[in-house]
Amino acid sequence: MAMPLAAQSTSLDELPAATQDEISRVCLPVQYREGAGAYRNCVQTEISLRDGSTNNPSDLARLSFDDKYAVQQACAKAGGQSSSDYQSCVTTQISELNAVEAPKLELISEDELYVVQQSCFDAQSKQGAANYRRCLNGEVNSLLAIPAADTSNLNMLKKNALQLRCSSNASNAVQYRQCVASEFESIAGQAPSFLPVSTAAVVTANQPTLDNNQRNNQTVNDVVQEVAQSQQTQIEPATTTESSSANNAQLADNEAPQEEPTMSLPRNIVPPGADQRQLTDVIDNKTSTDTVNIAEVVNSDSSEQEAASSESADNLLLAQASTVDTAAQTPDAADARVISRPELVETLNKQAQAKAQGVELDAADAAATSAPDAGADLMSKASVLWQKFLNSLSSLDSTGWLIIAGILALPALLLGLFSFTRHLKPRTAVAPSSHPDLASRIEPGLQTRRLRHEEQAASLFDDESPASTADIDHDAITRIATKSERPLERTGLDNALAEDDIDNPVRSDAPHQSGQPVAETTHWQSAFGGWLQRLPDTEKTSACIEFLIYWVAYGDDRYEPELKKRLFTATDLSSHDEIKRWVLKQDVFAFSDVIAWMRQNATQAELDQSVSLIWALLVTENNVTPVQTTLIRYLSDAFGTGKENIESRFEKAFGHPLPTMPRTDNLAWWAKQDDTQVQDWNARAIATRPEQEQMIARLGLPAKYNEAQVINAFRRAARRCHPDRFTALGDRERAMAEQRFIKFEEARDKLLGVSV
Amino acid sequence: MRNYYDVLDLARSASSKALNDALGGLTTEQIEEEGDLKAIMETTEWRTHYRRAHLQYEAIAAAMNHPALQGTLDTHLWSKRVIEFEPEQNTIDFGAPGTK
């Protein structure tokens, strides 16, 4: 049974702060994962363990959090925590851990501790607790061998700045401490004072395995102290330095090994405040092969260009400090980065080059500030900037130049490509919409943009034929027209269109201009052919399209029986009623005459757009009737489009594939049809449903729809009805599409609850 | 597509009574041979859509027989689909425009 929370709290509060923190670190994740009860049990268990109620000598609870983590990581693969293998592993790990002296973490600062732990994280998570502790020892001892800059006098702000700068630059604790020493002056504005390093000897005195480390650390210590002392000395004249450099270079040449040794990453110790900048590279002792500790000093005073040349390696002073016996190296030594001598030389060469450039720029800056007047000052600054620019260019390698050349050449390439494509294809005639009102309602500003860009887009995207133009997905035509974008009054054209846009299309005053000459003679198969032939040539295409629209509509019985009765009894019929009557008579030869006439006389654009108009007016998304499927597929062949093309166009227009060929004579096909879908094929039945259901059916939405579905369905419908898709047809056809669009608008508004 | 009206020896516009009579007069062999015919034609909804499709197949067959439409694309294999739908030729030459 869990101890009462109050009692636990008392127990927890009575523990030392460090223990409380330890327990919190262990149990807080439990609280987050499993809740308050589990947290309470966890705390109780941890307290009991620390009270000695469990006398297991290998108890994990007695370890520090970090050691415990290392043990758990090492034993994670041994099995579950309750398994004997796991317990055995824990016992072994703790036993090995106890054989290694605990690191003197208290001798280093908190931020250094963080860096030390970071350096040993790999050992902690992969190499077991003992190796982790050895790693900590190695890092701490290496650290203690270097004098630490005394940051106690810095205010919190500067201390934080220093810590931030060095924690981002250093990959281990030694580098961090060196960084603090070197960056101290730039932040504090004064040279640092160093704390004594005697603690290192104390720490390492009883560690035989670290003798070599100690030796190397002592060497490092000497170097650092030497550098630190150099801050107090007078800067030597350049000539002296150069002479010294030459001597040292000679020494380095003589003492350098014949084979290229591998050396660990140089540790830059730049004594703060030294005008003669010395780049001191200290090689630590953590290499897996024979390594040398080298304190390298770059003669930074050489302002000659040679410093930036490839021969600047001569300016390096390589002083071999000691040879490291790797026999007693610690496991964590494997983590030290090893670089080759050429790599080191290259690194230093680059630093010397940068330094040399800095000298030049400093001189230029000085000249600029001493200019007597503002003009000269400006010129000097320009000169400095120019010099910086040239220096940047000079430091570019071949890749950099290649990238710059590519960036500069890209606009020219694009321009050339654009010009080429424009000349490659004839320009497409732009057919502005005859219904800017509708277009602007669908997409304000669309007309202007289309007029401006249509020629370019057509030439760029192989959009040559008007039919293809009609099939472009006009992504721009996707925004829903809002109430404010609606015209205040319906146009005369709107009013001329009856409620039923299918049964009462209007004839435009402007006759449709077909692009092809009308065939003089045709073998008509029906009386309708004779009637069609008597029409003015300019009206024949429109009459044929009208016939097809009625044919598709009435094929699904989308007419009232009263209409059929009236048409068959009336004697004085309009041309529209004449067409309707032939359709209602189901005169299949009239149908074949229409197809034949259009195939012979209409342009391909008119043929393609006729099909687009038919489905814009009659086909509903997700509700394509068998008749519509059959006729659309047949017209694609009769009009020379083909199966693949029509399927592609249809899917673009409706967002779903064109249904496969219906087999209404086949029971298996019927078995696949959804009953609800079959009912929706009956347009007249839909017209008797409640208004909401009619709107849903009009947009082809499911019974349960959301706002996004309404918007997307409307956008597709708006694209299908856009007048720019029917540029090859007449005003009447475009007006029918507009009327249909208004119907879709109405459905969208009612489904979205928009007040019109 | 099968032309069930042709099997029943009826016109597409035949009344329901005539259709039911024809269906009742089918022999067992005919029913077995035309497996789906009876089910399709006896179910009102299916028959309605079959009749509508039947009209389109007649129309397509007429178009495919039109002299001006010979050699058009046939990516949907219409020539095979409409093989049972052969409307009678009804060519009428109205002559020059304006004549009736």
User: What amino acid occupies position A632?
Assistant: I
**Using CB atoms and an 8 Å cut-off, which of residues 187-246 of chain A contact chain B?**
none
Q: What are A64-96's pLDDT values in tens digits?
A: 778 888 888 888 877 777 678 888 888 888 888
How close, in Å, is residue B42 to chain A by CA atoms?
A: 12
The enclosing H or E element of A410 equals: helix A398-424
In this structure, the number of other CB atoms found within 10 A of the CB of residue A100 comes to 17
How far apart CA A364 and CA A359 sit, in angstroms, is 9
CB-based contact, B18 to chain A, within 8 Å: no
User: A-chain residues within 8 Å CB-CB of B52?
Assistant: 555-557, 625-627, 664
How close, in Å, is residue A405 to chain B by CA atoms?
A: 52
Q: Quick check: A511 pLDDT over 80? A: no
Give the model's pLDDT for residue A523.
76
Q: Quick check: A194 pLDDT over 70? A: yes
How close, in Å, is residue B58 to chain A by CA atoms?
A: 7
| A29-43, A50-64, A111-125, A627-641: segment of lowest average pLDDT | A50-64
In this structure, the number of other CB atoms found within 10 A of the CB of residue A366 comes to 10
**Residue written as tokens 């010099």?**
A387
How far apart CA A112 and CA A148 sit, in angstroms, is 10
Compute the average pLDDT of residues A346-374: 49
Q: What are A274-283's pLDDT values in tens digits?
A: 333 333 343 3
How far apart CA A116 and CA A498 sit, in angstroms, is 85
Alpha carbon separation from A366 to A370, A390, A597, A731, B99 (Å, rounded): 6, 19, 90, 78, 104
How close, in Å, is residue B9 to chain A by CA atoms?
A: 16
Q: Quick check: A619 pLDDT over 70? A: yes
User: A-chain residues within 8 Å CB-CB of B72?
Assistant: 599, 637-638, 640
Phi-psi region of A175 (alpha: psi -120 to 50; beta: other; left: phi over 0): alpha
Angle, helix A156-169 to helix A173-188, in steps of 10 degrees = 140
- For chain A, how big is the Rg over CA atoms in Å? 44
- Give the residue with greater pLDDT, A489 vs A741: A741
Compute the average pLDDT of residues A704-726: 93
How far apart CA A434 and CA B82 sit, in angstroms, is 41
Give the chain A residue whose CA is nearest to the CA of B68: A596
Mutate to test the interface with B, among A557, A599, A665 (most CBs of B within 10 A): A665
How far apart CA A716 and CA A722 sit, in angstroms, is 10
For A746, counting Cβ atoms within 10 Å of its Cβ (0-12 exposed, 13-18 middle, 19+ buried), the class is middle
Q: Quick check: A711 pLDDT over 90? A: yes
Q: How confident is the model at residue A406 (pLDDT cuts 50, 70, 90)?
A: confident
| A20-24, A467-471, A689-693, A735-739: segment of lowest average pLDDT | A467-471
Query: What single string gives the DSSP state of each residue in A44-63?
Result: HHHHHHHTT-S--TT-GGGS
How far apart CA A736 and CA A615 sit, in angstroms, is 12
**Cβ pair B53:A525 closer than 8 A:** no
Q: Which long-range contacts (CB under 8 A, 24 or more apart) does B7-14 make?
A: B7/B34, B7/B37, B8/B37, B8/B41, B12/A586, B12/B51, B12/B54, B12/B55, B12/B58, B13/A586
C-beta separation of A601 from A543 below 8 A? no
Give the model's pLDDT for residue A481.
31
Pick from B35, B37, B59: CB nearest A588: B59
Query: What single string gives the DSSP state of each residue in A115-162?
Result: HHHHHTHHHHHHSHHHHHHHHHHHHHHHHHTSPPB--TTS-HHHHHHH
C-beta separation of A165 from A183 below 8 A? yes
CB-based contact, B5 to chain A, within 8 Å: no
Give the model's pLDDT for residue A13.
76
Pairing of strands A262-264, A267-269: unpaired
How high is the mean pLDDT of chain A?
A: 68
| Beta-carbon contacts of residue A368 (< 8 Å; ≥ 6 apart) | A377, A380, A381, A383, A384
Sheet containing strand A316-323, strands side by side = A267-269, A280-282, A292-298, A316-323
How close, in Å, is residue A593 to chain B by CA atoms?
A: 7
Mutate to test the interface with B, among A516, A521, A525 (most CBs of B within 10 A): A525
| A175-179, A192-196, A478-482, B15-19: segment of lowest average pLDDT | A478-482
Give the distance from CA B61 to its chain's centroid.
Answer: 9
Give the model's pLDDT for residue A401.
82
How far apart CA B93 and CA A472 sit, in angstroms, is 42
How close, in Å, is residue B68 to chain A by CA atoms?
A: 6
Q: Quick check: A262 pLDDT over 80? A: no
Tokens of A565: 């009765």
The pair phi, psi for residue A316, each rounded to 5°, is -85, 135
Q: Quick check: A527 pLDDT over 80? A: yes
- Give the residue with greater pLDDT, A646 vs B97: A646
How far apart CA A463 and CA A442 sit, in angstroms, is 22
Q: Quick check: A667 pLDDT over 80? A: yes
- Give the residue with greater pLDDT, A645 vs A149: A645
Compute the average pLDDT of residues A554-559: 88
How far apart CA A726 and CA A639 sit, in angstroms, is 16
User: What amino acid occupies position A665?
Assistant: D
The enclosing H or E element of A537 equals: helix A537-555
Give the model's pLDDT for residue A741.
94
C-beta separation of A466 from A727 below 8 A? yes
Three-state SS for A190-240 is CCCCECCCHHHHHHHCCCHHHHHHHHHHHHHHHHHHHHHHHCCCCCCCHHH
What's the ipTM?
0.90
Query: Would you list the domain boundaries of chain B?
Result: 4-81
Cα–Cα nearest to A545, from A488, A494, A492, A502: A502
Q: What are B21-71's pLDDT values in tens digits?
A: 999 998 888 888 888 999 999 999 999 999 999 999 999 999 998 888 988
Strand partners, A296: A281, A318
Give the model's pLDDT for residue A718.
94
Give the model's pLDDT for residue A376.
64
| Beta-carbon contacts of residue A465 (< 8 Å; ≥ 6 apart) | A604, A605, A608
Helices (H), chain B: 4-7, 16-24, 28-33, 37-42, 44-64, 78-81
Give the model's pLDDT for residue A346.
60
Q: Quick check: A366 pLDDT over 50? A: no
| Beta-carbon contacts of residue A39 (< 8 Å; ≥ 6 apart) | A27, A28, A30, A31
For A690, counting Cβ atoms within 10 Å of its Cβ (0-12 exposed, 13-18 middle, 19+ buried), the class is exposed
Tokens of A221: 């210590």
Dmax (CA) for chain A in angstroms is 125
**Cβ pair A592:B62 closer than 8 A:** yes
**A-B contacts (CB, under 8 Å):** 143
- For chain B, how big is the Rg over CA atoms in Å? 17
Q: How confident is the model at residue A353 (pLDDT cuts 50, 70, 90)?
A: low
- Give the residue with greater pLDDT, A194 vs B83: B83
- Give the residue with greater pLDDT, A721 vs A451: A721
User: A-chain residues within 8 Å CB-CB of B12?
Assistant: 586
- Give the residue with greater pLDDT, A149 vs A490: A149
DSSP, res A2: P
- Give the residue with greater pLDDT, A513 vs A738: A738
Q: What are A301-346's pLDDT values in tens digits?
A: 333 333 333 333 333 333 333 333 333 333 343 343 444 445 545 6
In this structure, the number of other CB atoms found within 10 A of the CB of residue A689 comes to 13
C-beta separation of A71 from A62 below 8 A? no
Query: Among positive and negative, which fits the CA dihedral A388, A390, A394, A400?
Result: positive
User: What amino acid occupies position A536?
Assistant: P
Pairing of strands A316-323, A292-298: antiparallel
User: What amino acid occupies position A119?
Assistant: S
Compute the average pLDDT of residues B75-82: 92
C-beta separation of B76 from A631 below 8 A? no
